[in-house]
């Protein structure tokens, strides 16, 4: 068992921030995390106190890096506060415990191809079905390529089924080299990924941010576009946060989706 105390870590917020789809809440204070072909239970004991059900060696080898525990998120939030941007300050105060996970690249590519024009609960359901034959393991490109398009359609993938078939074949044929991608700079990563069907600018940025930990990536989906239009009259100065734009994006995304669920919420006019 490993005890973690941090005012910049909240597993529930991370699980609901839209960056991962295999963290599930199994009780009011317990979550199950499936990542890197491993399974972990995390228990919350206080506002900032968590217990990881793993050895110290496993924590150091896998989970310390996976949860980006070496990064000082408190310093990032202090910089945001220094800008006096009221919306962003509200967002970081609300989503104080969000961190950018260091996820498996292949799993991130697949899950964010699935994510387009989809809601989070449906994405999670599809991924659960996709992984069912392999337990906690995510299907590798060769395993995924063995699915027929009809198999994938039966899981509810719709038009995304052909994208998964194509990207699996691209990896197996060497047209997409995952190891090379890991050593490529941000702009080239985006250009490379966008060559493949089913990967546009938003999905490419999600893969760069969540699968390659390029924290300068700033995915723009309907939620982020709405924030920029409603709160910043269409002109958000991203340069202020260019070194960690992806962290800011997560605070914004989580906050906006959360407040939109509140009764009597009304959008601000542009």
- What tens digit of pLDDT does each residue of 64-123 get? 999 999 999 999 999 999 999 999 999 999 999 999 999 999 999 999 999 988 888 889
Q: What is the CATH number of the domain that holds 53?
A: 3.30.310.260
Residue 92, domain member (yes or no): no
112 with 207, same domain: the answer is yes
pLDDT at 267: 43
Residue 132, domain member (yes or no): yes
Residue 232, domain member (yes or no): no
Enzyme catalytic residues: 202
Contacts within 8 Å (CB) and 24+ apart, 201-204: 202/116, 203/112, 203/113, 203/115, 203/116
62 with 125, same domain: the answer is no
pTM: 0.91
57 with 144, same domain: the answer is no
**Considering 25, 56, 71, which residue would you say is the last residue of a domain?**
71
121 with 53, same domain: the answer is no
123 with 195, same domain: the answer is yes
pLDDT at 29: 95
**Cβ–Cβ < 8 Å for 247, 222:** no
Residue 54, domain member (yes or no): yes
H/E run at residue 32: strand 30-35
pLDDT at 268: 43
- Whether residue 163 has pLDDT greater than 90: yes
pLDDT digits (tens, 9 = 90+) for 23-59: 999 999 999 999 988 999 999 998 899 999 999 999 9
**Considering 164, 186, 211, which residue would you say is the last residue of a domain?**
211
Residue 109, domain member (yes or no): yes
Residue 91, domain member (yes or no): no
pLDDT at 262: 58
pLDDT at 269: 34
**Considering 166, 184, 211, which residue would you say is the last residue of a domain?**
211
Q: What is the CATH number of the domain that holds 143?
A: 1.10.340.30
Residue 199, domain member (yes or no): yes
145 with 207, same domain: the answer is yes
Domain of 60, in residue numbers: 2-71
Q: How many distinct structural domains can be found in the chain?
A: 2
DSSP 3-state of 27 = strand
64 with 120, same domain: the answer is no
pLDDT at 266: 45
206 with 119, same domain: the answer is yes
The percent of residues above 90 in pLDDT, for the chain, comes to 80
Residue 259, domain member (yes or no): no
206 with 123, same domain: the answer is yes
pLDDT at 58: 96
Measured distance CA(175)–CA(198) in Å, rounded: 15
């Amino acid at each position: 068992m490993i005890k973690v105390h941090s005012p910049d870590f909240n597993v529930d917020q991370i699980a609901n921030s839209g960056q991962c789809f295999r963290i599930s809440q199994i009780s009011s204070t317990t979550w199950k995390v499936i990542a890197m072909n491993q399974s972990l239970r995390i228990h919350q004991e206080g506002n900032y106190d968590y217990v990881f059900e793993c050895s110290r060696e496993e924590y150091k080898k896998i989970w310390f890096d996976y949860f980006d525990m070496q990064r000082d998120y408190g310093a990032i939030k202090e910089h945001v506060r220094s800008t006096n941007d009221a919306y962003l300050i509200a967002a970081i105060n609300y989503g104080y415990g969000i961190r950018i996970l260091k996820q498996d690249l292949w799993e991130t590519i697949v899950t964010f191809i699935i994510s387009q024009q989809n809601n989070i609960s449906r994405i999670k359901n599809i991924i659960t079905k996709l992984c069912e034959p392999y337990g906690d393991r995510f299907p590798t490109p060769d395993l995924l390529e063995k699915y027929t398009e009809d198999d994938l359609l039966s899981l509810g993938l719709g038009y995304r089924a052909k994208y998964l078939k194509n990207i699996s074949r691209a990896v197996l044929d060497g047209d997409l080299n995952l190891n090379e991608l890991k050593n490529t700079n941000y702009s080239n990563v985006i250009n490379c990924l966008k060559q493949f069907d089913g990967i546009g600018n938003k999905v490419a940025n999600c893969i760069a941010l969540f699968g390659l930990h390029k924290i300068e990536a700033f995915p723009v989906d309907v939620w982020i576009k709405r924030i920029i239009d409603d709160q910043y009259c269409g002109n958000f100065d991203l340069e202020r946060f260019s070194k960690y734009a992806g962290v800011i994006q997560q605070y914004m995304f989580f906050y906006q989706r959360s407040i939109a669920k509140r009764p009597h919420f009304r959008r601000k006019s542009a």
